Amino acid sequence: MNKMTVKDIDLKDKKVLMRADFNVPLDENCNITDDLRIVSALPTIKYCLEQGAARIILMSHLGRPKGQVVAKMSLKPVAARLEKLLGMPVKMLDDCVGEAVKNALAQATEKVVLLENLRFYAQETKNESVFAGQLAELGQVFVNDAFGTAHRAHASTEGVTHYLPAVAGFLLEKEMAYLGKVVENPERPLVTILGGAKVSDKIKMIENMMDKVDCFLIGGGMAYTFLKAQGKEIGDSKLEADRIDLAKTILKKAKENNVAFILPIDHKVADRFDAQAAVQYVGEEIPKGWMGLDIGPKTIELFKQKLQTAKTIVWNGPVGVFEMAAFSKGTEALAEYIATLPATSIIGGGDTASAVRQFKVVDKMSHVSTGGGASLELLEGLELPGIVALKDRT
């Protein structure tokens, strides 16, 4: 985790090639609906400018065009928003490699330039060395500030580091500091809230964190596989039948390690997966014909009780279908409660980050990760290629 950052190198008069994560959500008219990832890149961009960099050449992907040019996945809306946020011109190019890009850069007067979507080329995700070399030719130093793609060995994250001095930006440094501490030396008691649809998505994280966590609070769709493993009736709730034995093993291991593993004790259930479905509250057992879509009020209070004395809280995955108002109460209640606590609160990106923004408590959290998959892999104990490739601080 001890990597060099932009503060460790001379940026004056340098062309800085910077990998950002501008993979922002767009509506049907290609308007940005959440600019958190653009805002998160601003400190590094501004620092490079303040240090006298000759130019900042920004690169990113957006969506999954799979090596094809897809007009609705162009980064043009990002350039417009970035220009507004920076308060200075941003030059948007039509491509990311090739002679036309080199010529456009040579003629440009703008200090900040944004290349077109990297994933319009299949070579990007294949980490093709020639493509990485073409990107590297555009800069003199490389700054990676895209934590959201740090778990992928792509041309723009790992490949370019073979050609240029490579350091971390401030966002990547912050992600490493918060998540790295949780993995290596968390302040305890450490309470981890896990939600989302599948047990299989969180297995490796649970196993890696078992000797660090004091208490797991389990909600969302994944809770029902654990409840089934305990012999509880779960009705028509989400179930990974092939993971029941694994769930039993985890429950046994938690007991052996003296780690509290708390499952919902009541549920808000629906007769179908629909915002307009008939709903009711039930206890631990869910009747046939009903499915659990949120934790109930008793579970909310139980979870709050377990969170109250925590020094560190890690939350990865909502505890209900928070996108539907009828099943958002559990996630909303926990978000609002955590916002009042003095603990270090780390939100693990993805849907959980969307939830704390939706419930307007994002500013009350210690750290909201910009990378769902990357944060999960880091908590699983995996090395992230985009971080490993950066220069070590000696």
Instruction: Please calculate the CA angle 230-236-238 and round it to the nearest 5 degrees.
Output: 70
pLDDT band at 274 (very low <50, low <70, confident <90, very high): very high
Whether residue 341 has pLDDT greater than 80: yes
Sort 27 into a burial class: Cβ within 10 Å, 0-12 / 13-18 / 19+. Answer: exposed
By DSSP bridging, strand 267-270 and strand 291-295 are antiparallel
CA 91 from chain center: how many Å? 28
Nearest-angstrom CA–CA distance, 229 and 337:
30
Rounded percentage of the chain residues whose pLDDT exceeds 70: 99
Q: 353 or 302, which is more confident?
A: 302
Whether residue 387 has pLDDT greater than 70: yes
Q: Are 92 and 76 in contact (CB under 8 A)?
A: yes
Domain covering 186-379, topology: Rossmann fold (3.40.50)
pLDDT band at 281 (very low <50, low <70, confident <90, very high): very high
Of the listed ranges 69-73, 340-344, 345-349, the least confidently predicted one is 345-349
Look at residue 317 in the predicted model and tell me its pLDDT. Answer: 93
Nearest-angstrom CA–CA distance, 347 and 324:
20
Catalytic residue among 219, 349, 350, 372: 350
What are the angstrom distances between the C-alpha of 61 and each of 70, 149, 183?
12, 9, 28
pLDDT digit string, tens, across residues 28-42? 999 999 898 999 999
By DSSP bridging, strand 312-316 and strand 291-295 are unpaired
Could you state, in order of their start, the residue ranges of all structural domains in the chain?
Answer: 6-174, 186-379
Nearest-angstrom CA–CA distance, 20 and 65:
18
Contacts of 115 (CB under 8 A, 6+ apart): 57, 58, 59, 60, 75, 93, 95, 96, 101, 138
Q: Are 367 and 181 in contact (CB under 8 A)?
A: no
Sort 33 into a burial class: Cβ within 10 Å, 0-12 / 13-18 / 19+. Answer: exposed
Q: How many CA atoms lie within 13 A of 368 on its CB side?
A: 21
Rounded percentage of the chain residues whose pLDDT exceeds 90: 89
Look at residue 213 in the predicted model and tell me its pLDDT. Answer: 96
Look at residue 1 in the predicted model and tell me its pLDDT. Answer: 62
Q: Does domain 6-174 have CATH number 3.40.50.720?
A: no
Catalytic residue among 37, 174, 202, 228: 37
Look at residue 201 in the predicted model and tell me its pLDDT. Answer: 86
Catalytic residue among 304, 311, 373, 391: 373
Whether residue 12 has pLDDT greater than 90: yes
Look at residue 32 in the predicted model and tell me its pLDDT. Answer: 95
Average pLDDT over residues 70-96: 97
Look at residue 355 in the predicted model and tell me its pLDDT. Answer: 93
Q: Which helix (H) or strand (E) holds 78?
A: helix 76-86
Can you count the helices (H) and strands (E) in the chain?
Answer: 14, 15
Average pLDDT over residues 349-378: 90
pLDDT digit string, tens, across residues 177-228? 999 899 888 999 999 999 988 888 889 999 999 999 999 999 999 999 999 9
Whether residue 127 has pLDDT greater than 90: yes
Topology alike, domains 6-174 and 186-379? yes
248 included as an active-site residue: no
37 included as an active-site residue: yes
The model's pTM: 0.89
Catalytic residue among 76, 126, 198, 204: 198
Look at residue 275 in the predicted model and tell me its pLDDT. Answer: 93
Identify the CA nearest to 144 among candidates 386, 391, 388: 386
Mean pLDDT of the chain: 95
